[in-house]
Structure 1
Amino acid sequence: MHGTNRHITGSATGGPETPPLRVLYVVPPSKQFAGIERVTDEIASALATFESPRFDVSVLYFRDYPEVVDPAYSVIRGEAERTRHIPGAVQRVLDTHRFDLVVIPQFEIAFLCMVQDRLRGRRTHIVLHLHGNPEIERAVSLKSRVLFAFLKPAAPRFAGVIAVSPGLARHASAMMGGGVSVEHMPNPVRQLGDHVRVGAEALAGRNFVTVARLAYQKGHDIAITAFRRVVDAYPDARLTIVGEGPERPKLEALIARLGLQDNVRLAGMVANPSAELASARAFVTASRWEGFGVAIVEAMSVGLPVVAAKCDFGPEDLIVAPELGELAEPNNPDGLAEAMIRQLAQEPRAEHVEIRRRHAAESAKAAVVARHAAYLADLKRSLPA
């Protein structure tokens, strides 16, 4: 990871009389460069070169990621192995750097950072950026449940609260008592359809694809179990699962137990799944929970219809018309199988490909970053100096 402490002062279009808006993003010490890490890198990179308003963007990382190469923003390296170490690391950065706004993902981290900030006598403007599922976070540990008890009283003390999907924004606002505005700020999604799109031959086939890490959250076991019924109805149906992760041994055993070795393939990690998407009839996801659904948007950008479990949060905010796909009951292999079978029974329509691509384009990076830029600039203007 390169670019340490290299601050960008803005574009040539501005002058010294209009100083850039100084923003710090905090990235938790995750072992993988996945959701929060990738989204932060993309937004920070784009904001650092945004012309009006201008931004001076820094990102605080606690791990070195090979995916971060010569970023346009400044990289600040911190030391933190666990959540409880992050607030102190943020305060050490604030000892030597000044920022107008500090954007922190996940309530637990943001709340602890705000508490330590106040104990240090500071009044840093912290923006809470919600990516995941608060109910899942509360369920995983007693510590999270205790901290979430402070969500309602703490919420008004954040400079702003943003969420990656409308459903998550509504849920978070209700948890906060309804008196705090939670803005929907979608994740930027690469438009794979700019380079390849699904063709008539693939749409007429019986190949399904999913793209997600092999983790319990993503529900691959549900999709594989459902696919047994799909294969019973259409013996030549195929499912390609793109991704890698700790669930691989369990999924391999499930595939063997259901006799699906010829129908289900674990393709491993693929950096750009354009080819896999373009050769499929439909995209399927059986996630148990989501925050947004980046892979769904990527699939639609290629022109694929989507069969998705109606989990919290994301899929129902994205699949809003029949032309885009179908929602199935979550945690229900039979319901998912029926939706996939219905997809195979439908006559594909070429005009729906462009409808899906236009819908996906609403999450293109340029559009999303412009929304983030406007939100942060408006927020800065509304806050005390």
Structure 2
Amino acid sequence: MNDHQRHITDNAAARPLRVLYVVPPSKQFAGIERVTDEIASALAEFENPRFAVSVLYFRDYPEVVDPAYSVIRGEAERTRHIPGAVQRVLDGQGFDIVVVPQFEIAFLCLLQDRLRGRRTNIVLHLHGNPEIERAVSLKSRVLFAFLKPAAPRFAGVIAVSPGLARHASAMMGGGVEVAHMPNPVRQLGDHVQVGEGALGGRNFVTVARLAYQKGHDIAITAFRRVVDEFPDARLTIVGEGPERPKLEALIERLGLGDNVRLAGMVADPSAELSAARAFVTASRWEGFGVAIVEAMSVGLPVVAAKCDFGPEDLIVAPELGVLAEPGDPDALAQAMIRQLQQEPHPEHVGIRRRHAAASAKAAVVARHAAYLAGLRLGNLKEGARA
């Protein structure tokens, strides 16, 4: 690199890295929405390197209050409208990196960007299960056929769990590096911990939206078997969603009205977690498993379905919890019954909390910052060689 090229590189590195995050027009402020808000907020306040962060939203979310980043409002009701909205934002201002979730959206943004003659550095951020995403419709399956040839054209590809990263890399032909960038998770144990009395009790808790993906019907069916063994066992389900009527009917049909409670939406589930013996999740699929980490941050052991992806990346030691076959109420019930039969281990609370701390916001955002800064440096080097 000559002196002129080094001067350009140094000047670029001295200014804030301009990053745009794209949030799909979801009706719920849940996974992607909340994760993006937390990462963008923390990056906007990061010191070294510095970031100028904007988030493109297509809906108003009451949960977004005075963010540290700049909010850009766009118009898009469907996936196909998002790439045009992104291009309109790029027409008005420049960004070093654009981070787009989900392959279908990211691919369309990349395609339209190249058709417009741009070379925007677009990062694909994988949150969920690509197999589920491409099974949604014929259009999705067609677009996923372009995953392998399109992958090298992204400036970077990141995934929220190691399992998802490995799976995505294989789908892309193995020639593209997919970086594992975990989601930031609230450390609820910073202000409340599970008590010895709760660990010795028979209360289970789960925290998740009442949606088919989360497998609450599997957990409730399994709990019928648990109650047959331990009539005083209790399950609290924290969350709200479209599956509530079906779950209420299932609870009534199984005669679990005194044992299973749908607690509704709770912004901070610390009280429910700290009063439980164990956390249980029967998800059919995941991308990461934020609720699992929140539970471990309080000190709870976890009983989880070994679904794709997330749980087996998080529950990596017996002290942390146990995995059961996914979609199998009997296997899940047996795991919960074993949890009640064994002696509690209060000394394992600290192990779980330390394991959860690896996903604390400060640690996670530092990894994101280093990754994005590395992309800029790499692109500048490529430009200098050109």
* TM class by smaller structure: over 0.9
Measured in 2, the distance between the counterparts of 1:240 and 1:70 equals 33
Match of 2:62 in 1: 66
Q: Report the identity percentage.
A: 88
> Is 1:112 matched up with 2:108?
yes
Measured in 1, the distance between the counterparts of 2:332 and 2:310 equals 17
Match of 2:274 in 1: 278
From 331, 338, 341, the counterpart of 1:335: 331
How much has 1:351 moved relative to structure 2?
A: 1.0
String of CA shifts for 1:291-322, please: whole Å, max 9, x gaps: 00000000000000000000000000000000
SS of the aligned residue for 2:198 comes to: helix
From 113, 120, 124, the counterpart of 2:120: 124
How much has 1:336 moved relative to structure 2?
A: 0.1
How much has 1:326 moved relative to structure 2?
A: 0.2
* Aligned counterparts, 1:249-268, within 5 A: 249-268=245-264
Q: Runs ≥4 in structure 1, deviation > 4 angstroms?
A: none
Measured in 2, the distance between the counterparts of 1:140 and 1:101 equals 29
**1:346 partner amino acid:** Q
Match of 1:91 in 2: 87
Residue ranges of structure 2 left out of the alignment (5+ in a row):
1-10
Match of 2:372 in 1: 376
String of CA shifts for 1:260-312, please: whole Å, max 9, x gaps: 00000000000000000000000000000000000000000000000000000
> Is 1:352 matched up with 2:348?
yes
* Aligned counterparts, 1:286-297, within 5 A: 286-297=282-293
String of CA shifts for 1:214-268, please: whole Å, max 9, x gaps: 0000000000000000000000000000000000000000000000000000000
Match of 1:160 in 2: 156
SS of the aligned residue for 1:283 comes to: strand
SS of the aligned residue for 1:140 comes to: coil
Measured in 1, the distance between the counterparts of 2:14 and 2:164 equals 35
* Aligned counterparts, 1:132-143, within 5 A: 132-143=128-139
**2:213 partner amino acid:** Q
TM-score in terms of structure 1 length: 0.96
**1:179 partner amino acid:** G
**2:179 partner amino acid:** E
From 39, 44, 52, the counterpart of 1:43: 39
String of CA shifts for 1:152-187, please: whole Å, max 9, x gaps: 000000000000000000000000000000000000
* Aligned counterparts, 1:147-296, within 5 A: 147-296=143-292
TM-score in terms of structure 2 length: 0.95
> Is 1:325 matched up with 2:318?
no
Measured in 2, the distance between the counterparts of 1:70 and 1:350 equals 40
Aligned positions, number: 372
Match of 2:4 in 1: none
Greater Cα offset, 17-26 or 189-198: 17-26
From 51, 72, 77, the counterpart of 1:81: 77
Residue ranges of structure 1 left out of the alignment (5+ in a row):
1-14
Measured in 2, the distance between the counterparts of 1:240 and 1:350 equals 22
Measured in 1, the distance between the counterparts of 2:63 and 2:42 equals 16
How much has 1:368 moved relative to structure 2?
A: 0.1
From 294, 300, 308, the counterpart of 2:296: 300
How much has 1:127 moved relative to structure 2?
A: 0.3
Q: CA RMSD in A?
A: 1.2
Measured in 2, the distance between the counterparts of 1:381 and 1:191 equals 32
Measured in 2, the distance between the counterparts of 1:351 and 1:379 equals 42
The structure carrying a bigger helix percent of its residues is 2
SS of the aligned residue for 2:114 comes to: helix
